[in-house]
Structure 1
């Protein structure tokens, strides 16, 4: 197994997760403040998750071609749900008394969000990010079918030539990467919860 394939895989995971966080958190905040439209947005995000990721990649490949861009866009669409949903849930779980206190202190909507609601909702948001990152490691495997590279190519080659060693090598690498991300984000999440 080459280091290049591992780095390719981590690149796909990193770019897609950064984009999901950049889009998902504001979208989650939007669904919280605009409940009616928010329900529609959450339903759409839910529906995207029900479509097999390989089908999404195949559809996008007809527009963007067989490359890593197709994989990253498909991953962003597929991985949005945990961040959007958890941002919305976290904001809804903030104690109403604290919101009323912020209003009584004369805070603007933006100040209330940044100083009260968002910090208290952050553990929920971090859980969503953790789920997204761990899922991204697995979802990126399918990128090999549309020219995205990564560790999926080892698994695909192993299956194609019926080489158990290659399959185990690729699987073990994916497990280790997933466990490392899960442990690190879980550790960070516990620290944040203790601070709050």
Structure 2
């Protein structure tokens, strides 16, 4: 009963501060989207390079693994002297953390494309670039998208730490609530973040399923 009452209090806090909530939610979503777009822009080409030049694969994966193992607060601490307080440092930290799932899935997706399909395309006169653009990337897209989906969910949770350098987001309520022992404020910031992660995961899962169906169709045409 006390848990239900606490949840009700959290809902009341959110309603009473709804304008601030919308601002924090918007900041949180922007942090996630910008860092994810940056991670995709970097990780997918790195994955392509790793597959194309096998001797670089271990080095590229090592960079991704190191980025994932460094605590987010440590990345924030390193970014702060260069980019200062605020949005930019938060995005850098989230970007670093978002890289690995996209990178590993890009490599896995490209490597699982059937060699016979690639050889058939090359036999038809396609260049390596054309094979990559028209065959490998479309077939690898469902796996790459699964990595993006995982990365997005991780980033939604990690974005709460943006509070520590003035990056905004729902972490403002959660961490301030922890410091003030204000449970309704904590819940008002934490529950929407969890719902945001679940919603994004469901949306990306649906898109991934759609892409997967198209990818299998394209593969059957290419090998037919």
The structural deviation recorded for 1:103 is 1.2
2:17 aligned partner: none
> Structure 1: how far apart are the matches of 2:63 and 2:42?
15
The residue that corresponds to 2:123 in the other structure is 104
Of the candidates 92, 96, 100, which is equivalent to residue 81 of structure 1? Answer: 100
* CA–CA separation in structure 1 for the residues paired with 2:32 and 2:145: 17
| 1:156 alignment counterpart | 175
1:29 aligns to 2:48 (yes or no): yes
Write the deviation string for residues 99-154 of structure 1: whole angstroms up to 9, x where unpaired.
Answer: 11011111001110011111110011000110111111011111100110100010
Question: In 2, Cα distance between the equivalents of 1:186 and 1:67?
Answer: 32
TM-score after normalising by structure 1:
0.97
Corresponding residue of 2:5: none
The residue number in structure 2 matching 1:118 is 137
**1:6 is the counterpart of 2:25:** yes
Structure label with greater radius of gyration: 2
Q: State how far apart, in whole Å, the 2-side matches of 1:85 and 1:61 are.
A: 28
**Structure 1: segments with no counterpart, 5+ residues:** none
For residues 138-176 of structure 1, give each alpha carbon's deviation from its aligned partner in whole angstroms, at most 9, with x where no partner exists: 111111001101000100111011011111111101111
TM-score by length of 2: 0.86
CA distance in structure 2 between the partners assigned to 1:188 and 1:48 by the alignment: 27
Find the residue that maps to 2:212 and give its secondary structure.
Answer: helix
1:177 to 196, 204, 211: 196
State the distance in 2 between where 1:28 and 1:189 align.
19
**Structure 1 residue aligned with 2:205, among 170, 182, 186?**
186
Moved over 4 A (4+): none
Partner of residue 139, structure 1: 158
Determine helix, strand or coil for the equivalent of 1:5. Answer: helix
Say whether 1:42 aligns with 2:86. Answer: no
Residue from 72, 79, 90 that aligns with 1:53: 72
Give the CA RMSD over aligned residues.
0.9
**What is the aligned length?**
196
Unmatched 5+ residue regions in structure 2?
1-13, 15-20, 217-224
